[in-house]
Structure 1
Amino acid sequence: MHSETRDGMRIDWDAPIEMSDGLVLRADVFRPIGEGRYPVLMSYGPYGKGLAFQEGYSTAWTIMAAQKPEVLEGSSNKYQQWEVCDPEKWVPHGYVCIRVDSRGAGRSPGVLDCHSLRETEDFRECIEWAGEQPWSSGKVGLSGISYYAMNQWRVAALRPRHLAALMIWEGAVDRYREASRHGGIACSFSKNWLEMQVKPLQHGRGERGARSAVTGELVCGPETVPDEELAKLRVDAWPSLINRPLDDDNYRDRSGLPERIEVPLLSAANWGGQGLHLRGNIEGFLAAGSQRKWLEVHGGTHWVEYYTDYGIGLQRRFFDHFLKGVDNGWDREPPVLLNVRRVDGFVQRAEHEWPLARTRWTRLYLHAEGMALRPEPPTVAATLDYDTMGEGLSFRSAPMAEETEITGPSALRLRLSSRTRDADLFAVLRVFDPAGKELLFYGALDPKTPVGQGWLRASHRKLDAARSTPWRPYHTHDELQPLAPGEPVDLDVEIWPTSVVVPKGWSVALTLLGRDYEHGQDSAALSNMKNPMRGCGPFVHDDADDRPPAVFDTVCTLHLDPADPAWLLLPVVPEAAKEVG
């Protein structure tokens, strides 16, 4: 460990934290110069505590600086790192910031096994270590985005005695449903993420890795280990994922247990996080055992809002109250804060529950005539065929007679048959202006995304009746129910929550596909992502082993029957609550 005082902070580089099995993890500790005991903000993850944001995630940094120049103000930005807090914006306010390289990553040795039970236990031990240091007040808060949020749901379930508050920003809680298999369909993001963002920061890459722009030390440790040896020190999650189509202990061990959480938490979701950074923040909030919990939902780019004045202000009020005991009124805040999405921006609004109690659950029925969404069921039966790798089927509502807010989860009920033993259904919720141009929003990662998305593999259609609601069908994913070719089955599809105020004269639409949605415009890219982004960001479903063409490149038939009509359930909010910003 090397310690120094610089930029108004005391910094302990590579502080050792010994685990119960004898392995020593390494952490950087940023703390105030003044003597005293301070609350701690901690993060634990695999992205290399010594890798500068600007170097490791250059396009993301450029986008953030362009969209929100305020994030660069008030800091030298030398200590900025991907998805964790900037110590220069927290240490002067009386916090200790600790970044721990997870086992097998960065400067921490060991076997790299992301989201594993061992990682969760390591995190718990790091929290207890931090709470017992002479500069610590004994209260530890957890903060961070994505990976640094997902592991909070797990470690908090272990109830470390020094854990005092959680700031869970755009993560996931259910490894199967939110991060690995959407509706039972394998998402290739996990495979590409390991290759692009985790393996390059494995401990032992040494000279093949980056050097810290601040300390000059090798980000991935002093040793340069041959690739074949590194492979033995790394658990590749993709083979186990692709060979496990059903929800089992492998996924559950890597999922959170929010019902066991007791400490205060603020769960921050992103409307644009279709595919990873949305559902879990809402589901975790609802299931959390804590009596003091809040949900915030915003929009825009995945990593940006956390660093803005708005994001830091929200975090600081929360942590000041629960880690410092400041009577700043946080405990009197309504439990839900929504940034309601409009075509020209966002409007903040406080709410008291989720879904909103005043929601007018509205069914729009699918009609073959005119390919329409209408409030009344059809009177004539029809069948519609579509090529699963083609443009699918699209149904559109009449123009809105008045401005209409849609905020909350949606659901889809229909009957479908396939010419093979299975089918993948991709349901896309869309909005069109009077000229027929689709409204695309800046998603969490993709700058052009539709309003909402849902997925279901037909053989995974079995529902858990106890956990399902009319607006959120819950699938067990515990057995396969193959289709008989040509025989229709009922499918209930969960469409992840959304928020959009549809202007008068505009319309909503539903598109049914057998593949990922693409907007047909120019694609976008990020330096830390493999896929060109065409509407779904990196959260695509293109693995040939999971989706063999002989099964999924086929023709499906939608069966529209007046006796059992197909419908889309939308959460229409009839009137606005008092605005708070």
Structure 2
Amino acid sequence: MTHRTDSTYSEVRAGMAIDWDVPIQMDDGLILRADVFRPIAPGQYPVLLSYGPYAKGLAFQEGYPSAWQKMVSDHPDVPHGSSNLFQNWEVVDPEKWVPDGYVCVRVDSRGCGRSPGYVDHFSPRETDDYVACIEWAGQQGWSNGKVGLSGVSYFGINQWQVASRQPKHLSAMCIWEGAADWYRDMTHHGGILSTFWDHWYDMQVKTVQYGVGERGPKSPATGAWVCGDVTLSDSELAANRCQFGQDILSHPEDDAYHRERSAQWDKITVPFLSAGNWGGQGLHLRGNSESFMRAASKHKWLEMHGLEHWTHFYTDYGIQIQKRFFAHFLKGEANGWDQEPPVRLQVRHPHRFEERTDSSWPLPQTQWTKMYLSAHDQSLSEQPSATQGRLSFQAMGDGLSFVSAPLSHDMELTGPLAAQLKMSSSTADADVFLVLRVLTPDLREVTFAGAIDPHTPVAQGWLRASHRALDAELTRPYRPYHTHTQAQPLTPGQAVTLDVELWPTSIVIPAGHRLALSVRGRDYIYAEKTGLKLSNFKNELLGCGPFLHNDPRDRPHGLFGGETTLHFDADEQPYLLLPVIPRGRSQ
């Protein structure tokens, strides 16, 4: 049975009632388009809604073939039980949710897919649209009035912004590997520009902008043009979108542009499940743990896992957790979720994961342990070195590494990390890149399958020396919090103290292995060449995935290309602060 009205039509297919290209009118008169997947039986059901730029009609398999092929090859439970015809990048498969009594709504965001308009990602205008879509979904005849938000990455990031508005019908959120602070989590790591968003815009947004029309793909489910029924010229397309990379570059400090695109923690009161990835260094990690610590919600849970950042959203493991959470808050089921421990961790070992639960984050049993950097032999030790001195390196080079003795027993590190350095520069600024590494007894590095890159180190941190000012209220010993509101140039040759945040991690390091801290002047590199690429990223995967800091406009050689010197004084020894979980005390 099919009923058509222009591009909007309804049909019964694959055990679902599907409404294609449903119009949702915004307050400025613009019409956004949504696909709605519903149970066939009449009734009122909870809604799972997503709003984003990746084109609701673009098949996962066509738009992201390398990611899809690896996921279904490694995890056969993902495609099992579904025709996979409606698989879409980073949102739920309706064939696995509609039979459980949910309505799944996918909205093409303004200017993307089949929704016209001006593209301006994460802007207040987008958040206004998202609020309107939530309220629309909560008032439809097939809705029980409870709307849950769901999705990975972009579809998680914008949940924090819209939750800050407290829409009436918003009842629960599952943020799977999102981010929350537009400045610290996403565009400027430690004040250093991340080039990710500029390249992402080229590869994943411009390719599905509304108006690409007949130059773009067709939906395998409907045969409709994924990017709208009109075909615009390149100049017309450019006029309908912001200059995203340039906009970010133009805001080097944490100003109003960044704050209006970031979470407002005191206004987020909706129940949520925040799922992060240990390998998500550079995007999909910090915001997940920060949200658990800072959001005002009384009902909140943190889950942390590994592997590629989209994988567990689709595996049976991830779906079961999501369904228990949403069933409790959207259906009112007494399924025991309210007794679920607040923290669920997939604790990482070199070749496996061990599931464990806990009561809070950071973990209450954490033994905060300082390991000191030595100028004498470049060691890393729990005992401060008596040696004073200085060590220098090229400011945009590979820097120095400090290595521990072989561990006498297994050591678990789970939680946030920090380091304190004393440094000077021959110029008025310097960027510091910290990399926590694990080495085998024969000094080979142990890396991990990251959210994007298959050779990801244990943890990373970044700081621009001129952005060293701390927010005294928000800073914790284990998580320095920098203001990033006013640069403080260095006086060449004069040492300053840097407190550097390293993003959270989890690793059980086997006995005989060593810890190493690299203090670098550029991004971590696992290998100069790997030959590894994903279809949706420009660069070869060399250890940091697409999360690089190599824009010469942000790091001009004249300012950042001098010499960096680490200072080791008797009264101020540089150190690394580790979240050691004692043996026998983990739950």
TM-score range, shorter chain: over 0.9
Whether the aligned pair in 2 keeps the contact of 1:71 and 1:309 (CA below 8 Å) is yes
Give the whole-Å Cα distance in 1 for the aligned partners of 2:276 and 2:519: 26
By how many angstroms is 1:390 displaced?
2.9
Q: CA deviation at 1:578?
A: 6.4
Q: Per-residue deviation at 1:71?
A: 0.2
How many angstroms does 1:80 deviate by? 0.3
- Displacement of 1:237 in angstroms is 2.0
Q: How far apart, in 1, do the equivalents of 2:99 and 2:450 lie?
A: 33
Counterparts of 1:37-76 in structure 2, within 5 Å, are: 37-76=44-83
What's the counterpart of residue 548 of structure 1? 556
Deviations 1:152-174, CA, capped at 9 Å, x for gaps: 00111111111110000000100
Matched residue SS, 2:435: strand
Q: In structure 2, what residue type is equivalent to 1:115? A: F
Aligned to 2:5: none
Contact in 1 for aligned 2:138/2:145 (Cα 8 Å): yes
2:203 maps to what in 1? Answer: 196
**Which residue does 2:150 correspond to in 1?**
143
Which of 226, 230, 234 lines up with 1:227 in the alignment? Answer: 234
3-state SS of the aligned residue for 1:370?
A: coil
1:81 is paired with a residue whose SS is coil
Corresponding residue for 1:389?
A: 396
Pick one of 549, 560, 566 that aligns with 2:568: 560
**Residues 372-416 of structure 1 deviation map (CA, whole Å, 9 limit, x = unaligned):** 011111112111011133321000111111111000111110111
Give the distance between the partners of 2:337 and 2:531, measured in 1 at CA.
Answer: 42
In the other structure, the counterpart of 1:178 is 185
Moved more, 546-555 or 469-478: 546-555
| Residues 9-158 of structure 1 mapped to structure 2, 5 A cutoff | 9-158=16-165
Report the alpha carbon displacement of residue 240 of structure 1 after superposing the two structures with TM: 2.0
Check conservation: 1:112, 1:234, Cα contact below 8 A.
Answer: yes
Letter in 2 for 1:547: R
What letter is aligned with 2:188? R
Which residue of structure 2 lines up, in the alignment, with residue 284 of structure 1?
291
Most deviating of 79-88 and 204-213: 204-213
In structure 2, what is the Cα distance between the partners aligned to 1:9 and 1:557?
Answer: 64
Corresponding letter in the other structure for 2:149: L
Q: Paired residue for 2:340?
A: 333
TM-score (norm 1): 0.99
Match of 1:215 among 197, 211, 222: 222
**Match for residue 511 of structure 1 among 512, 518, 521:** 518
Alpha-carbon distance in 2 for matches of 1:578, 1:504: 18
Q: Which amino acid aligns with 1:317?
A: R
By how many angstroms is 1:76 displaced? 0.4
Which moved further from structure 2: 569-578 or 534-543? Answer: 569-578
CA distance in 2: counterparts of 1:6 and 1:148, whole angstroms: 26
Asked whether the equivalents of residues 139 and 162 of structure 1 are also in contact (C-alpha less than 8 Å), the reply is yes
Give 1:550's aligned amino acid. G
Equivalent residue, structure 2, for 1:437: 444
Alignment match, 2:9: 2
The C-alpha deviation readout for 1:321-356, integer Å capped at 9, x for no partner, is: 111111110000110001100012101101000001
Could you tell me how far apart the structure 2 residues matched to 1:508 and 1:104 are?
48
Does the residue aligned with 1:72 lie in a helix, a strand or coil? coil
For the pair 1:502 / 2:509, whether they are aligned, the reply is yes
CA distance in 2, matches of 1:318, 1:144: 14
Structure 2 counterpart of 1:324, from 318, 325, 331: 331
Q: What is the number of equivalent residue pairs in this alignment?
A: 579
Per the alignment, residue 297 of structure 1 pairs with 304
Structure 1 letter corresponding to 2:545: G
How many Å apart are 1:524 and its aligned residue?
A: 1.9
Change (3 A) 1:410 1:26: same
- Give the corresponding residue for 2:530: 522
Q: Please state if 1:249 is matched with 2:261.
A: no
Q: Conserved in 2, the CA contact under 8 Å of 1:349 and 1:577? A: no
Does 2:461 match 1:463?
A: no
Matches of 1:103 and 1:565 in 2, distance apart?
52
TM-score by length of 2: 0.98
C-alpha separation in 2, matches of 1:263 and 1:192: 33
Deviations 1:456-491 (A, max 9, x none): 000000011111011100000011111111111110
The equivalent of 1:368 in structure 2 is 375
Distance apart, 1:209 and its partner CA: 1.1
Please state how far the C-alpha of 1:128 moved relative to its aligned partner: 0.6
What's the C-alpha RMSD, in Å, of the aligned pairs? 0.9
The superposition leaves residues 248-276 of structure 1 with CA deviations (integer Å, 9 ceiling, x where unpaired) of: 00011111113211211000000000000
Which residue of structure 1 lines up, in the alignment, with residue 543 of structure 2?
535
Opposite residue 88 of structure 1, the aligned amino acid is: E
- SS of structure 1 residue aligned to 2:90: coil
Contact (CA 8 Å) 1:431, 1:438: kept in 2 or not? yes
Equivalent in 424, 433, 449 of residue 456 of structure 2: 449
Using the alignment, how far apart are the partners of 1:155 and 1:140 within structure 2? 12
Q: Which amino acid in structure 1 is aligned with residue 164 of structure 2? A: A
Sort the Cα spacing of 1:152 and 1:576 in 2 relative to 1 into closer, same or farther, 3 A.
farther
Q: Of the candidates 353, 359, 362, which is equivalent to residue 355 of structure 1?
A: 362
Task: Supply the AA of the counterpart residue of 1:562.
Answer: A
Q: Tell me, in whole angstroms, the C-alpha distance in 2 between the residues paired with 1:38 and 1:117.
A: 29
Name the CA distance, whole Å, in 2 between partners of 1:463 and 1:400: 34
The residue type equivalent to 1:44 in the other structure is Y
Q: Give me the identity figure in percent.
A: 56
Distance, in Å, in 2 between the alignment partners of 1:290 and 1:411 is 27
Deviations 1:7-54 (A, max 9, x none): 000000000101111111000000000011110000000000000000
More divergent stretch after superposition (449-458 vs 513-522): 513-522
Shift of 1:306: 0.3
| Corresponding residue to 1:491 among 498, 516, 520 | 498
The change in CA–CA distance for 1:576 and 1:167 in structure 2 (over 3 A counts) is farther
> Does structure 1 conserve the Cα–Cα contact (< 8 Å) formed by 2:365 and 2:585?
no
CA deviations over 1:52-71 (Å, ceiling 9, x no partner):
00000011101111221110
Write the letter of the residue equivalent to 2:125: R
Q: Distance in 1 between matches of 2:112 and 2:265?
A: 26
Structure 1 SS opposite 2:541 = coil
Question: Are 2:148 and 2:170, in contact at CA under 8 Å, matched by a contact in 1?
Answer: yes
Q: Is the 8 A contact 2:530 2:540 kept in 1?
A: no
Greater alpha carbon shift after TM alignment, 169-178 vs 549-558: 549-558
Moved over 2 A (4+): 388-391, 575-579
The Cα of 1:523 is off from its aligned counterpart by 4.4
Tell me if structure 2 keeps the 8 A contact 1:297–1:337.
yes
